[in-house]
Structures are given as structure tokens and as C-alpha cells.
Amino acid sequence: MSERKPEEDKLRLFLVIADDTPDALMRVLGVASVQQTRLRSLTARPDGAGLSIRMEIDDQGDDRAQFLATRLAAAPSVRSVGFGWR
């Protein structure tokens, strides 16, 4: 049994605020899927007049994280996107 290297355990946390519409979560997940992210945790809950979505994904580097954030921000219904380390 091999031990995992610490860098393999790094997760990126994305916080997305979207309109609270029936398809908002699926739109966000669609972007993550197209970008071939490996989702490790997901929570979504109403937050005022919007929907707060928290995704933890395997880290694929700074450039990929920035690209994903840009793509998420361009998705319909998305109001804002923030990301960082978990």
C-alpha cells in the first residue's frame, strides 16, 4: 500500500453565489463537469435571494483553478465566484 503525497491531498474550495433558480445548481455542476474536475464535496443552500454553492475539488494547479473560476463566473445565473485552498 503506497502512501499519498501531501500535494495529492490538496483541495480547492470554490464558493459560488447564484440566482435561486431550479437549474442553477445543474448549470454550475455542468461547468465543473466539462472542465473535468474531480468533485470531493458539495453543499448548496438558499442564502437570502440566492443560492450558495460550496464545492471542494482536487487541486489541478493555479491556472486550472483560475480558468474554472472564470468559466463558472460566465455561467447563467451565477452572481459571483471565489476560490482558495481547503
Looking at the DSSP bridge assignments, the partners of residue 80 are 17
Spell out the domains of the chain, with CATH numbers in brackets.
Answer: 10-85 (3.30.70.260)
Cβ neighbours, 10 Å, residue 27: 17
Three-class secondary structure of residue 80 per DSSP: strand
CA 46/CA 50 separation, integer angstroms: 6
Q: Quick: pLDDT tens for 37-51.
A: 999 999 999 998 899
What was the pLDDT predicted at 49? 84
pLDDT at 2 over 50: no
Three-class secondary structure of residue 27 per DSSP: helix
What was the pLDDT predicted at 85? 83
Q: Quick: pLDDT tens for 13-72.
A: 999 999 999 999 999 999 999 999 999 999 999 998 899 999 999 999 999 999 999 999
Three-class secondary structure of residue 58 per DSSP: strand
| Residue 64 or residue 5, greater confidence | 64
Q: Is the dihedral of CA 38, 13, 15, 73 positive or negative?
A: negative
